């Protein structure tokens, strides 16, 4: 079997690391990096740390409006597919790279396999929601991380090719957190930042729905962070950096420690060592759940509804008082930890086996 894999953003590199390893001995995989994340700390370092095969193609698309970025990817991915003639195209998650890859393959009658199928926030204003819905409806194989995801597809009339494999992010966390803890260079991040495990909170901000609110939206969030009883470590996404720096210049915010984006191994350590996570990221919600770290999600909805059980994850409005209320007064229920909605840590092996079986 010959397979083309499309990646373009940090979460996709992480997911591909475990699935590519599971596929390595049984198929020819051609990795295509769209260039959606092009900063070294958001891209190159992940290939170095996670042992992902270097992409045969780097399309160098970079940033731009959704239409421009997706259109350029679609054109360039089509050229790759015509050259490589794969049996299957594999995509991950819900980015513009995901949709562009799925559309290009579908137009060429190449079957599409979608890892992380069936997720729904039911907020069509989110670009990610549009991408995941469209990708699901043109995919031949839909690998769902949870039962909820499969149920979502059934409601939309999508039942053919659906399988519940568990979440490849759990596979990744189980493997790479151990690797990170055993690496002295990576575990030195606490000393480098002057923090101690469970003595800080970890935050990330990157979604368009957050940054589209401009400086005032970031100020409301930062005013809440400033009043938390522990310092807030914030690896800053390129999209958010300018607004964050303007906010700090305007009001100081001495409790917020802005740092450059870090590699996956260091991010796992920062997450596992945090007293609490505050984020608008879907992936970090789950990673916090996997590591039993309470999470406040700075959004009105989540596609990862399983994490809300037992208040291990709570949703917050982007308002100072609501963020503070959720961050200071939510007490997770330890008894909810008995549930295992995300599988057994072997999702990547199940996906590889299913693809090989279906393409024989």
Consecutive sets of 10 residues in the chain, 360 residues long: mean pLDDT of each? 93 92 92 76 68 87 86 96 98 96 98 98 91 98 97 97 97 95 95 97 88 89 97 89 92 95 93 97 93 96 94 96 98 86 95 87
Query: Residue 178: which H helix or E strand, with range?
Result: helix 168-181
From 33, 37, 114, 206, the catalytic residue = 206
**List of residues 6+ apart from 185 with CB closer than 8 A:** none
Strand runs (DSSP E) across 132-240, as ranges?
A: 141-144, 162-164, 201-204, 232-235
CA distance from start to end of the chain: 8
pTM: 0.91
Residue (of 288, 291, 268, 266) closest to 278 by Cα position:
288
Inter-residue contact 285 to 295 (CB < 8 Å): yes
Cα angle 247, 249, 255 (rounded to 5 degrees) comes to 70
Residues 175 and 347: their CA atoms lie apart, in Å, by 13
Residues 279 and 285: their CA atoms lie apart, in Å, by 7
Is 206 considered catalytic here?
Answer: yes
CA contacts within 13 A on the Cβ side of 350: 19
The residues of the chain that CATH labels 3.40.50.2000 are: 2-167+343-358, 177-338
Give domain 2-167+343-358's CATH superfamily.
Glycogen Phosphorylase B; (3.40.50.2000)
How do strand 162-164 and strand 141-144 relate by DSSP bridges? parallel
Give the three-state DSSP class for 29. strand
Residues 170 and 183: their CA atoms lie apart, in Å, by 20
Residues 340 and 134: their CA atoms lie apart, in Å, by 28
What is the pLDDT, as a whole number, of residue 9? 86
Residues 117 and 113: their CA atoms lie apart, in Å, by 9
Could you tell me the fold of the domain covering 177-338?
Rossmann fold (3.40.50)
Inter-residue contact 274 to 201 (CB < 8 Å): yes
Residues 157 and 150: their CA atoms lie apart, in Å, by 11
């Amino acid at each position: 079997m010959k397979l083309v894999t499309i990646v373009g953003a940090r979460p996709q590199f992480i997911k591909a690391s475990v699935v590519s390893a599971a596929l390595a001995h049984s198929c020819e995989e051609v990795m295509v990096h769209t260039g959606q994340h092009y900063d070294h700390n958001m891209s190159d370092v992940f290939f170095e740390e996670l042992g992902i095969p270097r992409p045969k193609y780097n399309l160098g698309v970079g940033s731009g409006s959704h239409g421009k970025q997706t259109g350029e990817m679609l054109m360039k991915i089509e050229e790759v597919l015509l050259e490589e003639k794969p049996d299957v195209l594999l995509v991950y998650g819900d980015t513009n790279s995901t949709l562009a890859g799925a559309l290009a393959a579908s137009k060429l009658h190449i079957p599409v396999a979608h890892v992380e199928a069936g997720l729904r926030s039911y907020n069509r204003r989110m670009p990610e929601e549009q991408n995941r819905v469209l990708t699901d409806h043109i995919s031949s194989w839909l690998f769902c991380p949870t039962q909820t995801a499969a149920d979502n597809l059934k409601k939309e009339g999508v039942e053919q090719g659906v399988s519940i494999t568990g979440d490849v992010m759990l596979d990744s966390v189980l493997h790479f957190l151990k690797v990170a803890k055993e690496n002295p260079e990576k575990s030195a991040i606490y000393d480098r930042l002057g923090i101690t495990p469970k003595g800080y909170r970890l935050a990330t901000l990157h979604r368009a729905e957050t940054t589209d609110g401009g400086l005032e939206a970031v100020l409301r969030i930062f005013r809440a962070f400033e009043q938390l009883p522990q310092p807030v470590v914030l690896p800053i996404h390129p999209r958010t950096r300018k607004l964050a720096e303007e906010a700090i210049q305007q009001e100081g915010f001495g409790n917020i420690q802005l740092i450059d984006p870090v590699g996956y191994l260091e991010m796992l350590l920062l997450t596992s060592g945090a007293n609490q996570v505050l984020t608008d990221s879907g992936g970090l919600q789950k990673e916090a759940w996997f590591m039993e770290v309470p999470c406040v999600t700075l959004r009105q909805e989540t596609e990862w509804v399983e994490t809300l059980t037992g208040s291990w994850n709570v949703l917050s409005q982007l308002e100072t008082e609501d963020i503070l209320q959720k961050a200071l007064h939510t007490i997770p229920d330890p008894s909810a930890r008995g549930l295992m909605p995300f599988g057994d840590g072997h999702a990547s092996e199940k996906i590889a086996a299913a693809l090989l079986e279906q393409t024989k």
